[in-house]
Structure 1
Amino acid sequence: MLETEGENSRSLHLLGVIAGLEGQVKEAVAYLSQAVKLNPNNPEIHSNLGLALKDNQELEAAIKHYQKALELKQNYAEPYNGLGKIFLELGKLLESQQYYEQALKLDKNHANVHFGLAIILLKQGNFIQGFIEYEWRWKKKDFISPNFSQPLWNGSNFNGKTLLVYTEQGLGDSIQFIRYIPLVKKLGGRVIVKCNQAGLKLLFTTVSGIDDLFVKGEKLPDFDLQIPLMSLPRICGTTLETIPAEIPYLSIPKSTHFQISSAPEKNLKIGICWQTSSNTKTSQKRSCQVKYLQQILSIGKTNFYLLQKEVSVADLEWLNSQTKIHNLGSYFNDLADTAAAIKQLDLVITIDTVVAHLAGALGKPVWVILNFDSDWRWMLDRNDSLWYPTARLFRQAKIGDWDSVFIELKQAVIEFL
């Protein structure tokens, strides 16, 4: 009987881990909960259940299982890493840092822990140390490192040579950090840029300092040195005082002629976006329900332009019943079209950060709606952004609280009018 229970708990543990890796969070919680009942003294099962519960946003239960794992096995880095992540999400940075540091005492090369520490440091504005820790992203399992034989550029003069800068993460990251290219160009010869997403190519033809642009899959010419785009703040020694924030640093490509539908002349033209792309891990907590838009739709002398491409059937039905909303998203062919639409608006209000980066890079007034556990680049407790002088930030006061954000937004739109 005992042998069977042992075998069952091993099988359930394995099934739970696999479900978690495949993003089936509820299934992972179910399997691992059963495994823990059969084998309550196994620290690994408790730790993996902690991870599954965290991914399912059951944070208090996750904390308990991580702590139980540490009770059973004191020198165990993984639960400390998990607790570091949870307290970071709860906005308790001091506790988070302590857990991360504890994990590093046990495993000094734990890439996820170093990366977590990077986020804390960057949120606090400690860019020098934060961007050094941020280099650990290449050691994380979910990061695929390119195999270039050319050496990594160290920031020194490269006169007479060709430097490849390549984008490596999401569209928003690429738009935010492409601002460094003019600074890089001042240090040497040719600068070529390889985009990991084809949608960036046309948009980036408007960035000064790029000699040639390529997209993933295209054959690259010979080059001497290489650097990932998001390593440029470290290479340039960026501090809060030296963020390159001269805007606009993007413009509309000459070949793009996207026109928005007209509105009554005196009406304020506002672009809106209330959801992030559904294929990101954090899309649920970084999106709000369409009903919240009611708060601002009721304001007079305004017309609204929908900037997101992805809209659910139910949301679309509701939007079609609104006379003041023009659905632009479904007509966009690429990011250059989105940029051209933004250029014609008076204000952009967005939860989606790709749209936020785009509006900010174009120098448009942009109001960014942030969930409680917002990304490091928006820092802590600020309502402005050092990266984008035209941005204003609206933050959740507590996890899941969109009501207070939209009350504040409504008042701000009335004042803006």
Structure 2
Amino acid sequence: MLADALGLLRQGQFAQARAVLESCTPSPDVELLLAHAHAGCNRVQEAARLLCRQAVANPGARHPARDMLDLLLPHERVDEAEAVLRAVRQRAGQDIRTHDMLGELLLQRGRTAEAHAVLTDGLSLSPAQLTTGNLMAVCLMEQGEYAAGRDLLLYILEHHPRSAMTHANLAHLLAGWNRTDESLAIHARALALRPDDANLRLNHALTLLKNGQMAQGWAEYEWRRKLPGRARLPAARTLPVLAPDADLRGRTIFITREGGLGDMLMMLRFVPVLAALGARVIVQAPDTLHGLIRRMDGVRRVFNDRQPVPFHDWHCPFLSLPHVLHRMPGHAGVAVPYLHADAGRVRAWAPFLPARPTLRVGLVWGGASRPDVPAAHAMDRRRSIPLRSLAPLAGMPGISLVSLQMGTYARQMMDMPAGMRLHDPMESVRDMDDTAALIAGLDVVVSVDTSVAHLAGALGCPVLLLDRFDNCWRWLSGRTDSPWYPTLRIIRQIRTGQWDDVVRRLCSMLAKRDLPPSRLPPAP
């Protein structure tokens, strides 16, 4: 019966699991599972009482509330989990782990001020505690307090000098602070402690790329293949690093889906290079990209990941292409534009756009919220700008705004700034090919760091990228231009979370028509 109850808990059927467990003979195992069932049923005090009793009975084991989180969070029982953690902390506040768990959950929910208060209480119990100190440093970084976060991690390292986790978090903080040279020095210390840790190697790779050390960064990025779940196809058929004069005639190369839409749009530039070496190129990608990819030179077929794996001689994930080809952005063979809108769709979408002679400005203010992936969710909060913060655009003469926004952030148009008018054709958009056709009729795309920015850049449309302070490696450190997209300019925050200055600079550039030169073809 315990196995049945555990199965029900994993399926999110907490009430059913509770009924099964309450009919069982009492035992420590039954009590533990019953605590999780109570938590899922929002029986907060019952769950907290049993979890605390289990923690006292097994002081050297992982805190049972961690298991409760593993069961509740996949089923979006976040409010229930938080309530139980608060009750556990109230009952057992001298156990520093209770502060860690609640503080970490609050960080994941974007409530940094509350997390700061909880973690401060934890550090009052043990100022150099490893987990609590690292969580507090993450909290400080989220709040833009980079110097305080750095100082705390240095203090933790005085007491735990061989903590690879703390070295890695310090390196990550410094990279977010755009002090990439310092970050790389700390990465080296972390790797000296754990040289075969694929996660550490991956973070090191991203800092190298952000620092502009492309060849070394892409080589290091190959460590991601050692992470769980990455090796889906036989390693023996992985495309090797190619010599510049490689002859691929008669060989079929299968480019496999990897990363987000922006990653794939960025890496598609390398597909014609493979074709020029004689390869027969077939590509796996989400359905939304299929139309764009089919029109590329050298692409024979396009598959989605629901279809059987086709015959191939070699396979290569999208994000390994720069490494195997020894090519970096701006090198021969990767000219922009490398994607092109369909002329028929451009004509079909033209009536949806505002009339000339105003400047047609496409607008994207939000990314893709992913509450199921805490790190991605936190990043999305930092990269997205509230539509109301773009209110100064409403009063600009000679400018027409066109929404290219999809997803939950589009709901902000229900409460637009006073005087703002947004043409919104997106309800009728079916895929990225439609979006490309809309972009082909615009003068400039203004976007936060999303796939639309990559699409517009790949099409050769002028792009003004509104970028967060702790910018992604794709946009490098200290740059206002992009080697990936010559028609893109970066307007970056000068302080974490502060968009006012970014919007002022954006309005100035639009008013002066200070835009990158377009590489879009003339409208059909």
| Coarse TM-score class (shorter-chain normalised) | 0.7 to 0.9
Counterpart CA distance in 2 for 1:415 and 1:29 is 43
Would you say the 8 A contact 1:260–1:328 is kept in 2? no
Work out whether 1:176 is the aligned partner of 2:273: no
1:247-396 matches, cutoff 5 A: 247-253=336-342, 256=345, 257-279=348-370, 280-281=376-377, 282-312=379-409, 315-319=412-416, 322=419, 324-396=421-493
1:165-200: CA deviation from partner (whole Å, max 9, x where unpaired): 1120010110011010110112233211111x2222
1:343 Cα deviation (Å)?
Answer: 0.8
Would you say the 8 A contact 2:395–2:420 is kept in 1? no
- Which residue is equivalent to 1:204? 293
- Which residue is equivalent to 2:159? 72
**304, 307, 314: which one aligns with 1:215:** 304
1:83 Cα deviation (Å)?
Answer: 0.4
- Which residue is equivalent to 1:192? 282
Q: Secondary structure at the match of 2:336?
A: coil
Q: Secondary structure at the match of 2:250?
A: strand
**212, 221, 239: which one aligns with 1:125:** 212
1:215 Cα deviation (Å)?
Answer: 0.3
1:328-369: CA deviation from partner (whole Å, max 9, x where unpaired): 233322111111111111111111431111111111111111
Would you say the 8 A contact 2:388–2:416 is kept in 1? no
Would the alpha carbon gap of residues 240 and 362 (structure 1) be closer, same or farther in structure 2, given more than 3 Å must change? closer
- Which residue is equivalent to 1:90? 177
Q: Secondary structure at the match of 2:381?
A: coil
Moved more, 218-227 or 319-328: 319-328
Moved more, 153-162 or 332-341: 153-162
**220, 223, 233: which one aligns with 2:322:** 233
Counterpart CA distance in 2 for 1:337 and 1:92 is 40
Q: Secondary structure at the match of 1:211?
A: strand
Counterpart CA distance in 1 for 2:412 and 2:109 is 25
1:276 Cα deviation (Å)?
Answer: 1.3
1:403 Cα deviation (Å)?
Answer: 1.5
1:82 Cα deviation (Å)?
Answer: 0.5
Counterpart CA distance in 2 for 1:157 and 1:405 is 48
1:39-68: CA deviation from partner (whole Å, max 9, x where unpaired): 556434534554566567665564455334
**59, 62, 66: which one aligns with 1:7:** 59
Would you say the 8 A contact 2:255–2:318 is kept in 1? yes
Would the alpha carbon gap of residues 67 and 332 (structure 1) be closer, same or farther in structure 2, given more than 3 Å must change? same
Q: Secondary structure at the match of 1:125?
A: coil
Q: Secondary structure at the match of 2:299?
A: coil
- Which residue is equivalent to 2:234? 148
1:377-417: CA deviation from partner (whole Å, max 9, x where unpaired): 22233322222122122122222231121111111111118
1:98 Cα deviation (Å)?
Answer: 1.8
Would you say the 8 A contact 1:192–1:210 is kept in 2? yes
Counterpart CA distance in 2 for 1:295 and 1:245 is 37
Q: Secondary structure at the match of 2:383?
A: coil
Uncovered stretches (5+) of structure 1, i.e. residues with no partner: none
Counterpart CA distance in 1 for 2:227 and 2:184 is 19
Q: Secondary structure at the match of 1:416?
A: coil
Indicate the RMSD between aligned Cα atoms, in angstroms.
Answer: 3.2
1:223 Cα deviation (Å)?
Answer: 1.2
The amino acid across from 2:172 in the alignment is K
Moved more, 7-16 or 106-115: 7-16
Would you say the 8 A contact 2:391–2:417 is kept in 1? no
Would you say the 8 A contact 1:350–1:367 is kept in 2? yes
* TM-score after normalising by structure 1: 0.87
Counterpart CA distance in 2 for 1:411 and 1:126 is 33
Q: Which has the higher helix share?
A: 2
Would the alpha carbon gap of residues 49 and 366 (structure 1) be closer, same or farther in structure 2, given more than 3 Å must change? closer
Task: Work out the number of aligned pairs and report it.
Answer: 413
The amino acid across from 1:370 in the alignment is D
1:129-164: CA deviation from partner (whole Å, max 9, x where unpaired): 1111121222346x6332335521112433222111
Counterpart CA distance in 1 for 2:192 and 2:349 is 55
The amino acid across from 2:365 in the alignment is W
